[in-house]
Structure 1
Amino acid sequence: MVNFREARPNERLQLERQLEFIFKIAHFYYENLANKDIYIQTASEELHLFFTDKNLYHLLGIKHKQTTSRMYQDIMSRKLTVRDFYIQDFTLQKLQVMHDFSALFYGQGYVIEGKYLQVVEMEKALRTNKFILALALDREGIKPYFPKSALDIRRRKDLPLGDKILSVHTVDRKTGYVKYLKDEKNSKR
């Protein structure tokens, strides 16, 4: 069980500075990933992921004092304040590395095989090119992968390079609309 707590006075200022980033990442997340089937292609495999609207808060290490739907409303209306949510002991660290989150889907990223990182056991992970962020993935049976944790890998020297992500596209479950976030396979760059 993950413990959430009030931010300490010295943490509140740091969190205030991160609010604009929280609004920005939420916009990216809800527009491109939430409640969509996500397909990531490497030279050797295709991964199927599915992120719910609630996964973002877990990845950021924050929890609204009322409800997750209230968190969504407060973020989208840009009314969220530091006093509205609880944090974890490692929230500030997560927020630092999550600045590279969109690079997993737009930039140069890699898929690495599962292992035990920090306190998280995972089946697979997406990692950024600069070894800053690893997004631990897991799944139940044959269901799509889901995000298990955002991990700071800046000091990890033992991670494999992994398989380069060649393309990322999403399929909206309601409309069937396909959106390519990255497509190196068909790019002439």
Structure 2
Amino acid sequence: KSWRKIKNMVHWSPFVMSFKKKYPWIQLAGHAGSFKAAANGRILKKHCESEQRCLDRLMNDVLKPYVPAYHGDVVKDGERYNQMEDLLAEFDSPCVMDCKMGVRTYLEEELIKARKKPSLRKDMYQKMIEVDPDAPTEEENVLRAVTKPRYMQWRETISSTATLGFRIEGIK
């Protein structure tokens, strides 16, 4: 029964788009539209300053052989992207697993932003009650909605994130 809770919590929404590649575009989790296919075995990921600094540092680190090559940032269609090696480019039918590592898997700035401009999310409330109908507070049940910070913090407590320092977000 506990596996069913975890299984139901994994909300992977792969979408398939053709980019004239050997395999269909796969995204297991995260925000749809964060990635774009690029030429020459590369992908574009929406620009994030802290991620760019991390990728820059990794290119001169002992971990370099274990991470996608970073090729700087580019502007495409008026939007800025980090350009990286597509690790799946050579595969015909790749199998992918999205793991979230760390005891907290959301950014502090996400939490600050959501707290500054809180909005009630009916979709997150629905996800919450699908996993644990007793999780929402009385007020959340009346509103039939939760705030994003509340949902993110709750999600961390019900997965292996808090106890093991990682969780499997999706598999294909």
Greater strand share, 1 or 2?
1
The structure carrying a bigger helix percent of its residues is 2
TM range (shorter): under 0.3
- TM-score w.r.t. structure 1 length? 0.23
Greater Rg, structure 1 or structure 2?
Answer: 2
TM-score by length of 2: 0.24
